[in-house]
Amino acid sequence: MNKKTIYLKDYLPPAWLIPETELRVTLAPEDTQVEAILHCKRNPHSKEPNAAIVLNGERLQLERLALNGRDLAAREYGYAEGLLSIPVQADECTIASTVRINPAANLELDGLYRSAGNYCTQCEAEGFRKITFFPDRPDVMSVFTTTVIGEKTACPVLLANGNLREQGELAGGLHFATWHDPFPKPCYLFALVAGNLVALEDSFTTKSGRRVALAIYVEPRNAGKCGHAMAALKTAMRWDEERFGREYDLDNFKILAVDDFNMGAMENKGLNVFNSKYVLALPETATDTDFDSIGGVIAHEYFHNWTGNRVTCRDWFQLSLKEGLTVFRDQEFSSDIASRPVKRIRDVNLIRSIQFREDAGPMAHPVRPASFVEINNFYTATVYDKGAELIRMMHTLLGEAGFRRGMDLYFERHDGQAVTCDDFVAALADANHHDFTQFKRWYSQAGTPELFVTSRYDAAGGRLLLRLRQSCPATPDMAEKKPFVIPLALGLLARDGRELSFSHAGRKNPAFLTITQKEQDFVLDEVAEEPVLSLLRNFSAPVKLHFDQSDEELSLRLGYDRDPWGRWDAGQHLALKALMQGIEQFRQGHQNITLPDTLKHGMAALLDDERADAAFRAVSLVLPTENWIGQQMAPLDPEAVFWVRQRLRALLGQELRPAFLRHYEALGKAAHRPYVYTTAEAGRRALRNMCLDYLLCCAPEAPADADMLALGERQYREADNMTDGLAALSAVVNADRERGDALLQDFLAKWQTDPLVMDKWLSLQAACPLPGTLARVRALLRHPVFDLKNPNKVRALVASFCALNQRQFHARDGAGYEFLKAMVAKIDRFNPQIATRMAAPFTQWRRYDADRQQGMRAQLEELLQAEDISDDLKELLEKSLW
C-alpha cells in the first residue's frame, strides 16, 4: 500500500460515530458475503462539522452501498487508498454495504481466515477493515449484533461476541446464529468463529451471584486437552474480583483455540481467540513452562475485559494503556498463585535481554510512541513489558492501597470510554494527590536510563553518603532526555549477612528513595557499620545500574540478600564479571579459561541452600543470557560469548559434579508419581533438570561424558511427562549429535501427529549450537511436519535458529544471514507480520564487528530492493538502515 507515517500530535476525534452495527455474515471458504448496516451519527465533539463519512476497507469486493436505504451509484462516493468516503448532509444516517471476501486465501491471518478448515477472525489492530467497511479506529465504539450463517455440516458451531439471541435453520442446508453484544466496543474487539468444534464447558458464579457459562472450543482431536486452561480461567476470574474488584459482565465467556495464529492470543469481547499453544496441555505433551504460560496468557486475555475492553484505547499510540497495564496484572496474578520471586526474575530477564536491546536499537520507541508507519510493528517488548514496568513503578510509589484507589477511580471515570495513558495516570494521581508530571517522561522518552551510583561510609557519623547520577542514551527519535523519576529500592547488609537498619530524612528503613534529578546525593543515617548495599531491589525501575561491588560483596548478597531478586541479581553480576574476564582472555587467544572460585562456591552454596525453594535455586543457577552478556560488549562477538559461557557452564558441571549428582538423585526420589502440575513439583523438576543440564554440559568442541549421556538417555526413556522428557532430550541433543539424533528419531515417531509437540522438536534442533545445525534447519524446511504458512512452525524453526542460536546464526561465512533473508523474503509475500518479526535479529547489525555488519547490512539492503515488500517490513528495514 505504501503507508505514511502517522503522528500522535495529529490526532483528531472521529467526525462520525456508529452507535450501532448490524452484521450478517454468510460463510463460504472462498466467497464469504458480509452485509453491514451502520447506524451513524455526527460526533458533537468533532472539529470538522461537515465531514463526509469515511470508512476503512481493504481487500473487499464491494457489491452494494446504500445510504438511508437508497443504493448509491459509483459517482456518489469515493474510494482511494483503502478509504471509502461518502458525503452526507444530515447529522444521522444509515449506511448499508454488501461485500465479498475470500477467507481461504487469507494467509496473513488478519481479518477473517481459515485454520484447519474452521473460520476465525483477528481484528486487532486493523483487521476489521478486511471484513467490512467501517471506521477502523478504537475510539469509534459500537453495539454489535452479528448473524453468522453457515453450512450445518461444515459449521455446526457459529459464534460471535456477546449473548446468543436467536438461532435456527435456513434453506439449503444452512443454519444461523444471532449474537448480541450489549457493550459498545471498538471493531478491533469483534470476533466471529465457525466450524466443526467441540467445547469443554463449565461455569463460574461471580461474587454478586451471577452465573457465567464458560466454554473452550477446539477441534475434535484436541478434546480433553483444555482442563488446565479452564482451571486457570476460573482462578483468574476469582483473582480479578478479589485483587481489583472486577467482575465479569456477560452471560458467557468463550475461548477458541486455533493452530494458525500470529500472536499469543486475542481478547475479543467475550470470545477470546487463542494460539493453541496457550490452551492445550496434557502432562505428556506440555512442559511445566507451557502450563505456566497457559495460566499467564489465559489470565492476560481475561483481564483485558476490564483493562482494554470496558476501558479501551483512544488511538493506537495508547496501546500500552491496555497492554502495559494488563501485563502488570497478569504478572501480579502469576506472582500471587505461584512464586513471586521466580516470576520477577523471569520478567527481568526478558526486560534485560529483549527490551533493553530493542531500546538501544534502531526500532527504539517510547512506551507511548509518537509516530509509526505500521502499528503491527509496535506490539513490542517496550509497549508490553517496559509498559508494565511503568505501572509497577507507579504501584511502588503509591503502595498497594493507593494503587487500588487509583484503579478504582480509573474504572469509575472511564468505563465505556476510549482513553489515553494521560487519563490513566491522572486517575492514579487524583486518587492519591500525587504529582506524576515528571514521572510521565517515562511514557514519552525512549531508551534505557543508566544509573551510576557511588557510596562512602562515614564511620564517625554513622552515615552513608550516596551519590547518584542518571543519563539516558540518545535514540533515533530524540537526542536529549530529561531526568526520569526513578524509585530506587534498597537495603543494607552487615558483613555477616544481617539486614542493617538505617534512616533517611527522618524515616526508618524506607523501602526506596525517589530519584528525580540528573545528579542527586542522599544521606542515610543511623547506619551502625559499613554496609554492603543491595540496590534496585526487586528491580524497582527498568534501568541499567552501574555500581561497583567486589566479588566478596556480591557473594555475600548472593548468599544472604533478603530480597530474593537481589540474591539472583548478585549471582548474575558475579557470573557476568567472570564471563567478561573470560571473554577478554578468549579474544586474546587463550582457551583455557578457568572458573573463579567465588563463582563456583557461590553456585555450590546456592545449590545446597535448602532454605530457598527449588524453583528459585533453579533460575538462579542459570548464567546470564547470551543476549545480556552481548549487551556489555562493543563490538559484540557472539562466538566469544557462546564459547566462554559454555566453557564456564561445563566447568561448573565438572567441578560440582558430585553435588549436582547428589541433588539429581534426591530430587528424583522425591518426585510425586504420577506427574502433577503444582508449583512445588514444577520447582522440583526445574532444579533437577537444571542439574542434568549442567551434568551433560561439555565445553565447546569437547566430547560429552559417556556416563552423563547415559544418565540423560535414561531420564528420556523413563520420563512420564513432557517436562522431564524434553529436558533430557535437549541436554542430549546439545551434547552429542549421534546420540541426540537417535532420541530425536524416537521422539518424532512418537509425536509426529501432535503439532505443538513437533514445534518443540523443531525448535530444539534449530537451537542446537553444534556445527551442522544450519544444514539441518534447511533440511527440516522440507520435512512433512514443517509448514511455512503456520506461524508456530516458522517461530519454532526460523526464530529458534536466528534468535536463540546466536553462535550458528552469526557464523563467519554469513550463511545464517543468507538463510534469514531468504525466509523473510518468502514469508513477507503472504504474512508480513510474521516476516517482519523474523527479521528482528538484523536490526542489531550495528553492534557487531565490521564483517558481520557488512554481512547483515547487505541482506537488509537486498530485502529493501525487492519489489512489493510489505509496509511492515519496509518500516523495519528503513529504520534499521537509516
Shortest separation between residue 629's beta carbon and Zn ion, angstroms? 30
Q: Give the one entry of Zn ion, ligand ARG, none that residue 265 binds, where binding means its C-beta sits below a cut-off of 5 to 8 angstroms depending on kind.
A: ligand ARG
Residue in the block written with cell 528459585: 616
Contacts of residue 581, Cβ cutoff 8 Å, sequence gap at least 6 = 596
| Closer of 263 and 834 to Zn ion (Cβ) | 263
CA 685/CA 697 separation, integer angstroms: 18
| Closer of 272 and 689 to Zn ion (Cβ) | 272
Over the window 263 to 282, marking each residue x when it contacts ligand ARG by CB under 6 A and - when it does not, the resulting string is x-xxx---------------
In the region spanning residues 356 to 385, those forming contacts with ligand ARG, defined by CB under 6 A, are 376, 379
| Closer of 325 and 607 to ligand ARG (Cβ) | 325
Q: Give the one entry of ligand ARG, Zn ion, none that residue 334 binds, where binding means its C-beta sits below a cut-off of 5 to 8 angstroms depending on kind.
A: none
| Closer of 267 and 347 to ligand ARG (Cβ) | 267
CA 266/CA 255 separation, integer angstroms: 10
Shortest separation between residue 785's beta carbon and Zn ion, angstroms? 30
Q: Are the beta carbons of 165 and 49 closer than 8 angstroms? A: no
In the region spanning residues 751 to 810, those forming contacts with ligand ARG, defined by CB under 6 A, are none
Does 713 contact ligand ARG by CB under 6 A? Answer: no
What does the DSSP assignment read for 821-872? HHHHHHHHTT-HHHHHHHTGGGGGGGGB-HHHHHHHHHHHHHHHHSTT--HH
- Four-CA torsion 498, 501, 502, 508, nearest 10 degrees: 150
**Which of 22, 108, 267, 301 is an active site residue?**
301
- Please name which of 688, 686, 685 lies closest in space to residue 673, comparing C-alpha atoms: 685
Shortest separation between residue 528's beta carbon and ligand ARG, angstroms? 49
Q: Give the one entry of Zn ion, ligand ARG, none that residue 282 binds, where binding means its C-beta sits below a cut-off of 5 to 8 angstroms depending on kind.
A: none
CB atoms within 10 A of CB 30: 11
Q: Are the beta carbons of 247 and 299 closer than 8 angstroms? A: no
| Closer of 264 and 814 to ligand ARG (Cβ) | 264
Q: Give the one entry of ligand ARG, Zn ion, none that residue 292 binds, where binding means its C-beta sits below a cut-off of 5 to 8 angstroms depending on kind.
A: none
Shortest separation between residue 190's beta carbon and Zn ion, angstroms? 16
Q: Are the beta carbons of 448 and 472 closer than 8 angstroms? A: yes
Phi, psi (degrees; rounded to nearest 5) at 182: -70, -15
Label residues 791-809 b or e (16+ Cβ within 10 Å = b).
bbbbbbbbbbbbbbbbbbb
The type of residue at 762 is: L
Shortest separation between residue 763's beta carbon and ligand ARG, angstroms? 22
- Please name which of 408, 460, 450 lies closest in space to residue 430, comparing C-alpha atoms: 408
| Closer of 219 and 385 to Zn ion (Cβ) | 385
Q: Are the beta carbons of 257 and 289 closer than 8 angstroms? A: no
Burial of 175 (C-beta count, 10 Å sphere; 0-12/13-18/19+): middle
H or E element at residue 651: helix 638-655
| Closer of 323 and 724 to ligand ARG (Cβ) | 323
- Four-CA torsion 286, 287, 290, 291, nearest 10 degrees: 90
| Closer of 189 and 757 to ligand ARG (Cβ) | 189
Q: Would you state the cell numbers that stand for residue 465, as one nine-digit string? A: 553518603
CB atoms within 10 A of CB 591: 12
Under DSSP, is residue 134 helix (H, G, I), strand (E, B) or coil?
A: strand
Site stretch for ligand ARG (CB under 6 A), options 257-265, 334-342, 565-573, 649-657:
257-265
In the region spanning residues 306 to 345, those forming contacts with ligand ARG, defined by CB under 6 A, are 323
Shortest separation between residue 353's beta carbon and ligand ARG, angstroms? 20
Burial of 369 (C-beta count, 10 Å sphere; 0-12/13-18/19+): buried
CB atoms within 10 A of CB 540: 23
| Closer of 323 and 713 to ligand ARG (Cβ) | 323
| Closer of 326 and 420 to Zn ion (Cβ) | 326
| Closer of 25 and 189 to ligand ARG (Cβ) | 189
CA 740/CA 671 separation, integer angstroms: 26
Decide if 301 is catalytic.
yes
| Closer of 326 and 805 to Zn ion (Cβ) | 326
| Closer of 266 and 651 to ligand ARG (Cβ) | 266
CA 792/CA 799 separation, integer angstroms: 10
Under DSSP, is residue 119 helix (H, G, I), strand (E, B) or coil?
A: strand
Q: Are the beta carbons of 77 and 84 closer than 8 angstroms? A: yes
Q: Would you state the cell numbers that stand for residue 473, as one nine-digit string? A: 542514551
Angle among Cα 92, 93, 94 to the nearest 5 degrees reads 145
Contacts of residue 270, Cβ cutoff 8 Å, sequence gap at least 6 = 161, 162, 181, 250, 252, 253, 254, 305
Q: Are the beta carbons of 360 and 312 closer than 8 angstroms? A: no
In the region spanning residues 312 to 351, those forming contacts with Zn ion, defined by CB under 5 A, are 323, 326
Angle among Cα 381, 809, 797 to the nearest 5 degrees reads 70
Q: Are the beta carbons of 157 and 193 closer than 8 angstroms? A: yes
Q: Give the one entry of ligand ARG, Zn ion, none that residue 263 binds, where binding means its C-beta sits below a cut-off of 5 to 8 angstroms depending on kind.
A: ligand ARG
Site stretch for ligand ARG (CB under 6 A), options 42-50, 260-268, 396-404, 765-773:
260-268
Q: Would you state the cell numbers that stand for residue 745, as one nine-digit string? A: 528419531
Shortest separation between residue 303's beta carbon and ligand ARG, angstroms? 9
Size of the site for ligand ARG (CB under 6 A): 12
Give the DSSP letter of residue 478.
Answer: B
Does 190 contact ligand ARG by CB under 6 A? Answer: no
Per CB under 6 A, the list member of 55, 96, 125, 556 interacting with ligand ARG is: 125
Q: Are the beta carbons of 181 and 270 closer than 8 angstroms? A: yes
What is the helix, strand, coil percentage profile of the chain, to 5? 45, 20, 35
Shortest separation between residue 257's beta carbon and ligand ARG, angstroms? 15
Q: Give the one entry of Zn ion, ligand ARG, none that residue 376 binds, where binding means its C-beta sits below a cut-off of 5 to 8 angstroms depending on kind.
A: ligand ARG
The type of residue at 855 is: G
Q: Give the one entry of Zn ion, ligand ARG, none that residue 181 binds, where binding means its C-beta sits below a cut-off of 5 to 8 angstroms depending on kind.
A: none
Q: Give the one entry of Zn ion, ligand ARG, none that residue 802 binds, where binding means its C-beta sits below a cut-off of 5 to 8 angstroms depending on kind.
A: none
Q: Give the one entry of ligand ARG, Zn ion, none that residue 379 binds, where binding means its C-beta sits below a cut-off of 5 to 8 angstroms depending on kind.
A: ligand ARG
Q: Give the one entry of ligand ARG, Zn ion, none that residue 572 binds, where binding means its C-beta sits below a cut-off of 5 to 8 angstroms depending on kind.
A: none
Shortest separation between residue 876's beta carbon and ligand ARG, angstroms? 14
CB atoms within 10 A of CB 58: 17
Over the window 275 to 314, marking each residue x when it contacts Zn ion by CB under 5 A and - when it does not, the resulting string is ----------------------------------------
Shortest separation between residue 136's beta carbon and ligand ARG, angstroms? 13
Per CB under 6 A, the list member of 40, 67, 118, 124 interacting with ligand ARG is: 124
Does 301 contact ligand ARG by CB under 6 A? Answer: yes
Q: How many residues are there in the chain?
A: 882
Site stretch for ligand ARG (CB under 6 A), options 51-59, 146-154, 258-266, 639-647:
258-266
Q: Contact positions toward Zn ion, by CB under 5 A? A: 323, 326
The residues annotated as belonging to the active site are: 301
Q: Contact positions toward ligand ARG, by CB under 6 A? A: 124-125, 262-263, 265-267, 300-301, 323, 376, 379
